[in-house]
Amino acid sequence: MAEPLENEPAIASTIADTVCSKLQNAIVEGIIPAGSKISEPALANEFGISRGPLREALSRLEASNLIERKPNVGARVVTLTREHLVEIYLIRESLEGLAARQAAENMSDKDINELDALLEKHQQQIKQDQSYYQKEGDMDFHFRIIKGSKNSHLIDMFSNDLYHLIRLYRYQFGMVSKRVPRAFVEHGQIVDAIRQHDGELAQFLMSRHIRSSRINVEKMLDEHLALTD
């Protein structure tokens, strides 16, 4: 299960780190429900730790936009709205377009081959079990390209700000779409553009890919649920 990635430098040693990870997952999976209040004493008790490192963890969750804090009042898990989801999609459309462009310029042959292998792997998974591809596989692909941009600040923004938030929406809105085959084809096109080091094209394709995804999601939300109000 542990892949032989060369330089995964070390493990997060501090308590705040591990608790932060656990809370991220708990929020994404809805174990701590969206919109619910977070009690520091209760949580600290539950984890068997003091309030110090817990507050440190909460700080990071706030930076990840998973919770909102008001001074002297406390922290709440963010509430999911259609508007926020659209905002995030628009930002992704913009930023991941840039990422694809820079990936086309900066990815090494080795990187690109690995990306190809991932695509291959996804093709297998789709035949067997679409759900994994939808849940995590798609995210894997996008994150790989973001890393491929070699833009450290961009990578940072995704890792810290957007990644878990995207997972949260995907998880809790239970997005299951008929777009999987189409999306997979689009992924292939993007990789082709990257292999030809055609940054402009890669940017265009990635932006359009995410735009299509957004429009699809908006449609789904309109049909299925009235989530916002």
Partner DNA sequence: TAAAGATAAGTTGTCAACAATATAGAGTTA
Partner DNA sequence: TAACTCTATATTGTTGACAACTTATCTTTA
**Closer by beta carbon to DNA, 9 or else 41:** 41
Residues 6 or more apart from 7 whose CB is under 8 A from it?
none
User: Could you tell which of a copy of itself, DNA, none binds residue 222, using a CB distance below 5 to 8 A set by kind?
Assistant: none
User: Could you tell which of DNA, a copy of itself, none binds residue 80, using a CB distance below 5 to 8 A set by kind?
Assistant: none
**Closer by beta carbon to a copy of itself, 1 or else 73:** 73
Structure tokens at 164: 């878990």
Residues forming contacts to a copy of itself in the complex (CB under 8 A) are: 12-14, 17, 52, 55-56, 59-60, 63, 65, 71-72, 84, 87-88, 90-91, 93-95, 97-98, 102, 151-154, 156-157, 160-161
User: Could you tell which of a copy of itself, DNA, none binds residue 41, using a CB distance below 5 to 8 A set by kind?
Assistant: DNA
**Closer by beta carbon to DNA, 16 or else 103:** 16
Nearest approach in angstroms of CB 106 to a copy of itself is 11
Do the beta carbons of residue 184 and residue 116 sit within 8 Å?
no
**Closer by beta carbon to DNA, 4 or else 71:** 71
**Closer by beta carbon to a copy of itself, 18 or else 212:** 18
Residues forming contacts to DNA in the complex (CB under 7 A) are: 13-16, 37-42, 49-53, 55-56, 69, 71-75
Cα–Cα distance for residue pair 195/66, rounded to 1 Å: 36
**Closer by beta carbon to a copy of itself, 60 or else 144:** 60
Cα–Cα distance for residue pair 108/101, rounded to 1 Å: 14
Nearest approach in angstroms of CB 73 to DNA is 4
User: Could you tell which of DNA, a copy of itself, none binds residue 49, using a CB distance below 5 to 8 A set by kind?
Assistant: DNA
Nearest approach in angstroms of CB 79 to DNA is 17
Structure tokens at 184: 């997979």
Nearest approach in angstroms of CB 90 to a copy of itself is 6
User: Could you tell which of DNA, a copy of itself, none binds residue 75, using a CB distance below 5 to 8 A set by kind?
Assistant: DNA
Phi and psi angles of residue 10, each rounded to the nearest 5 degrees, phi first: -160, 175
Do the beta carbons of residue 62 and residue 164 sit within 8 Å?
no
Nearest approach in angstroms of CB 58 to DNA is 8
